[in-house]
Amino acid sequence: MSGARYDLPEIDDFTRPYWDAAAEGQLLLRRCADCGRAHHYPREFCPFCWADEDRVAWEPASGRATLYTWSVVHRNDLPPFGTRVPYTAAVVDLAEGPRMMTEVVDCPSAALRIGMALRVTFREAADGVRVAVFTPAPDGEA
């Protein structure tokens, strides 16, 4: 597995706005003009009503989420995950509605609670490539 990286996205013309925004510290979603629903991961069509790409647009997300579920990963042989164990793989419910797979950082696993308020932050995965991860929201913030 010399040099393979399993944590880096394949950036193409369609996803470039998403990754450019992440590099600037902004999470983007796609929202359908026909049914009004937001979705994540980015797709060129609406996964709910199948509207074409000309009816689905990028929009900034608030960065707020709640923890839906998580698992603490103690072993992962794929680079570079093995150097980061243990880490918390998670699914969060974004304030805008979509559910997103991610990682919770800066929080001991014993402090995790379903429904806890989270805020997006970004981890640099490679030069110029940042990925969305979540951290506990400041007290009083939902």
Cα torsion at 44, 47, 49, 55 (round to 10°)?
Answer: -20
pLDDT at position 142, please? 62
43-102 pLDDT, tens digit each: 999 999 999 999 999 999 999 999 999 999 999 888 788 888 999 999 999 999 999 999
**pLDDT at residue 9 in the model:** 87
CA distance to 12, 70, 81, 100, 132, per residue, from 5 (Å): 17, 23, 9, 21, 17
The pLDDT tens digits of the residues spanning 120-142 come to: 999 998 888 999 999 999 876 76
116 with 141: CB under 8 angstroms?
A: no
Q: What is the pTM of this model?
A: 0.91
Q: Where are the domains of the chain?
A: 16-136
State both tokens at 22: 């992440």
pLDDT at 2 over 60: no
